Amino acid sequence: MPGEHLEHGAEQNIPEYERVKIHEKKKNFLTKFNDLRERGFDKFQNGYTNILESFLDHRPFVLIISGAFAIISIMLINVVGTDFFPATDTGLMKMHFRAPVGTRLEETEKLVLAVEDSIRTLIPKSEVSTINDMIGVPVSYNLSMVPSDNASGMDAEILIQLKPDHHPTVGYMKKIRKEVAAHFPGTTMYFQPADIMSQVLNFGLPAPIDVQIQYPDMNKAHDYALKLYDKMKLMPGAADVAIKQVLDLPGLRLNVDRQRAAQLGLTVTNVASSMLVSLSSSSLIAPSFFLNPQNNVNYSVSVKVPMERVTTLEELLSSPITAPGASNLVQTVTPAPTDIPTPPSQALGNLVSVNSEWVPNELDHYTVQRVLDVIASVEDRDLGSTAKDIQKAIDSLGTLPKGMKITIRGQNEVMTESFKSLGLGIIIAIIMVYLLMVTLFQSWLDPFLVIIAVPGALCGILWMLTITGTTINVISLMGAIMSVGIAVSNSTLLVTFANDVRVEHGYDSLRGALEAGKTRLRPVLMTALAMILGMVPMALALGEGGEQNAPLGRAVIGGLIFATFTTLFIVPVVYSYLRKGAPTKHELEAKFEAEEKGFEYDPNAVMDVIVD
């Protein structure tokens, strides 16, 4: 490039002494900066040494305060709370809306449209992406694929998707609850898990907390469900409390007069099949297809009575009943001589008697037994504390009828099992690490001194989670494991150097702990600060979905801050107390080295052998 040649030429035109002068200026700046940095660190190191000396001079007081602080920190477990996974704001809301019991499908649609209009007034237009609804029961072949609580025409689901730059979804959910309760009396609603992550964590259940009542007598079970419902509505943290099943859905029972039907050449099966065709379609009884000659594609052809033709009991009883078969759906002008005589169609009213009754809208089973579900979601509180209060409410019901069983299923059940397995894994890992260090240190005491940093890390994790309002969950436990590993590594540096400096210079445990803290201050701080600064963006939950991994960053930062303090101050104090004797690993190494050189091992000459 011409510009590059000019710059290169201009640089060559600078006299030699000028270039040396510029280089010296740069060198002097870096030298001054490094000198300033080293002087600052020396002052910091001297200050740390003075504080450590004060700690070593008051060791009983330091240990008492440290033990009291650890006990107080353990109590924070009841304050922090527990969750399975951290909640994320995906901008999705899935609302289950239930019209008054017995509402027809077309009337439910009118109510749903009114609810959608209310939602649009609560959420700014600039933040709403789409609002979709599904009213009534899904199509039969799609029912097993769609996670839906719709069991009748009075049920509907409304899915609301917000745009990326939206206000917190939880705030809109609270407004929608108040709006529906105030302006739509007789209706019920509750929010369901909308994103795929929450649905997977619920393992197919409609809510994070699902209290299931198993009992053969559904009416008796419903009485206990109402008692639990009233108690759970008053609990802090329990939102969207609802009884999933409806036991008083109005229905009509058609009792077929079997003798009269037999006289007309019909059976109960004929009556049921004909009603299925009229009300549901002929696709299941007599499926037929149309082959389009233009594109050779088969299209399903179904016959069904239009809904507007079945609006009263009289219209229902006038439905024709015929023998089953595809021939009954084919219209012929004149019968052929070879046609088999069939009974003429009969009106449904000639064959049945009608009784009105209350029926359940759905029947649910778990491990073969019938269950009633009292569901609830968690809001403004952790899952573990809410589940504990619900368990207390269950216990307050007293002695249950014989054969009745009430269990809490959902995320709390899976969370408890996961935490047990994870906790057991952490304990086994600590034991295995301790045994490994026993082998490396050739001592039972030195690994114990190293692991003293672990309680400090755990205390820091609890304090950081408490301050930031984060719960103990799977993600934060992963961060705890990471911080514990780094804490053990830093503590190993200090204990190992203390042993080395004692063997090399013959220091006692007090002087060795002081020298180890002073010398290993820089590497310990470098290791901890590198991890802490790297975790800051994650802890701040920056970016879309950042709140999912934020507990990991916060746990690592809190654990390393307290673990570093423990390593630099508490570990030297404990070391000076417990490590009175000389390190045995160096004696063993000296013995092996003397044997290799053909000398006789002399414990008094250990120092000389190692120095050589």
Q: What is the pLDDT of residue 153?
A: 87
pLDDT for 582 beyond 90: no
pLDDT for 330 beyond 50: no
* Residue 70 confidence class, pLDDT cut points 50, 70, 90: very high
CA–CA separation, 436 vs 427, rounded Å?
Answer: 14
587 and 504 housed in the same domain: no
294 and 320 housed in the same domain: yes
Q: What is the pLDDT of residue 137?
A: 85
CA–CA separation, 162 vs 93, rounded Å?
Answer: 8
Q: What is the pLDDT of residue 344?
A: 66
* Residue 326 confidence class, pLDDT cut points 50, 70, 90: very low
CA–CA separation, 590 vs 600, rounded Å?
Answer: 11
> Which residue's structure tokens are 């839906």?
148
154 and 268 housed in the same domain: no
Q: What is the pLDDT of residue 5?
A: 44
In a domain, 62, yes or no: yes
CA–CA separation, 418 vs 416, rounded Å?
Answer: 5
* Residue 96 confidence class, pLDDT cut points 50, 70, 90: very high
Number of domains forming the structure of the chain: 4
Q: What is the pLDDT of residue 300?
A: 84
pLDDT for 243 beyond 50: yes
Mean per-residue pLDDT for 329-335?
Answer: 51
Paired tokens of 325: 């078969």
CATH number, domain with residue 154: 3.30.70.1430
pLDDT for 3 beyond 50: no
Mean per-residue pLDDT for 210-236?
Answer: 93
Q: What is the pLDDT of residue 329?
A: 46
* Residue 1 confidence class, pLDDT cut points 50, 70, 90: very low
> Which residue's structure tokens are 């409304």?
158
Q: Domain ends where: 303, 333, 359?
A: 359
484 and 557 housed in the same domain: yes
- 82: DSSP letter: B
CATH number, domain with residue 455: 1.20.1640.10
pLDDT cut 70: percent of the chain above it = 86
* Residue 609 confidence class, pLDDT cut points 50, 70, 90: very low
CA–CA separation, 117 vs 121, rounded Å?
Answer: 7
587 and 574 housed in the same domain: no
**Domain that residue 502 falls in:** 52-81+443-581
Instruction: List the single range of 137-151, 195-209, 434-448, 590-604 with lowest mean pLDDT.
Output: 590-604
Mean per-residue pLDDT for 513-536?
Answer: 91
450 and 548 housed in the same domain: yes
In a domain, 455, yes or no: yes
Instruction: Look at residue 360 and give its three-state secondary structure.
Output: coil
Q: What is the pLDDT of residue 8?
A: 45
In a domain, 298, yes or no: yes
Question: Which candidate, 502, 468, 525, 527, places its Cα nearest to that of 579?
Answer: 502
Q: What is the pLDDT of residue 501?
A: 86
pLDDT, one tens digit per residue, over 361-398 is 888 888 888 999 999 999 989 999 999 999 999 999 98
pLDDT for 579 beyond 50: yes
Mean per-residue pLDDT for 11-16?
Answer: 54
In a domain, 291, yes or no: yes
Mean per-residue pLDDT for 119-147?
Answer: 84
Mean per-residue pLDDT for 459-488?
Answer: 91
In a domain, 41, yes or no: no
The DSSP line for 206-244 is: SSSEEEEEE-S-HHHHHHHHHHHHHHHHTSTTEEEEEES
Mean per-residue pLDDT for 91-112?
Answer: 91
Q: What is the pLDDT of residue 7?
A: 44
Q: What is the pLDDT of residue 611?
A: 39
pLDDT, one tens digit per residue, over 293-308 is 888 888 888 888 887 8
496 and 537 housed in the same domain: yes
pLDDT for 232 beyond 80: yes
**What are the beta bridge partners of residue 369?**
366
**What are the beta bridge partners of residue 375?**
210, 242
pLDDT for 550 beyond 70: yes
Q: Domain ends where: 168, 194, 220?
A: 194
113 and 65 housed in the same domain: no
CA–CA separation, 452 vs 448, rounded Å?
Answer: 7
Instruction: Look at residue 192 and give its three-state secondary structure.
Output: strand
212 or 204: whose pLDDT is higher?
212
Q: What is the pLDDT of residue 356?
A: 87
* Residue 6 confidence class, pLDDT cut points 50, 70, 90: very low
Paired tokens of 391: 């368990």
104 and 93 housed in the same domain: yes
Q: What is the pLDDT of residue 337?
A: 65
In a domain, 104, yes or no: yes
Mean per-residue pLDDT for 224-242?
Answer: 93
In a domain, 607, yes or no: yes
177 or 422: whose pLDDT is higher?
177
Q: What is the pLDDT of residue 24?
A: 58
502 and 537 housed in the same domain: yes
133 or 586: whose pLDDT is higher?
133
484 and 538 housed in the same domain: yes
- 137: DSSP letter: P
Q: Domain ends where: 194, 210, 233?
A: 194
pLDDT for 263 beyond 60: yes
Mean per-residue pLDDT for 122-126?
Answer: 91
In a domain, 435, yes or no: no
Pairing relationship of beta strands 155-162 and 209-214 according to DSSP bridges? unpaired
Mean per-residue pLDDT for 539-563?
Answer: 88
Other CB atoms within a 10 A radius of the CB of residue 342 amount to: 13
CATH number, domain with residue 288: 3.30.2090.10
Chain mean pLDDT for the chain: 84
CA–CA separation, 362 vs 218, rounded Å?
Answer: 12
461 and 544 housed in the same domain: yes
Mean per-residue pLDDT for 466-489?
Answer: 90
